[in-house]
Amino acid sequence: MDIIETIKEQIASNPVLIYMKGSPNAPQCGFSQRASQALMSCGEKFAFVDILQNPDIRANLPGYANWPTFPQLWVGGELVGGCDIITELHESGELCKLVKEAVEKAAEEA
């Protein structure tokens, strides 16, 4: 499977997915730390991909997503955005609503 197919599969099979540097419990940059903390505060399970451990994804995802930076949050198969957008959504209360809806929808479809 080529790397773009792998990315598509990851996005399709996880209702909430963050591509980040490091892991939620051990982020490797401040942006990934802020984004993953906002996501964790929603209380729902989510998947993550450490792009530092996956250089092919790190190299190819920005072109696929048309989004140049990391972290990248995908919810319900759609790109939400990076750290600033995630933070803004969290502060407005929209992030948790978006995440909960995606998790509930995925559970209904399972």
Whether 29 has a binding-site annotation, put simply, is: yes
Whether residue 21 is annotated as binding a ligand: the answer is yes
Is 83 annotated among the ligand-binding residues? yes
Token pair for 43: 């209380």
Is 34 annotated in a binding site? The answer is: no
Whole-angstrom distance, CA of residue 23 vs CA of residue 55: 15
Distance, CA of 108 to CA of 88 (rounded, Å): 28
Integer-rounded Cα radius of gyration of the chain: 13
CA distances to 11, 62, 80 from 38, rounded to whole Å, are 19, 22, 13
Residues belonging to the binding site for glutathione are 21, 58, 70, 83-84
Residues belonging to the binding site are 21, 29, 58, 70, 83-84
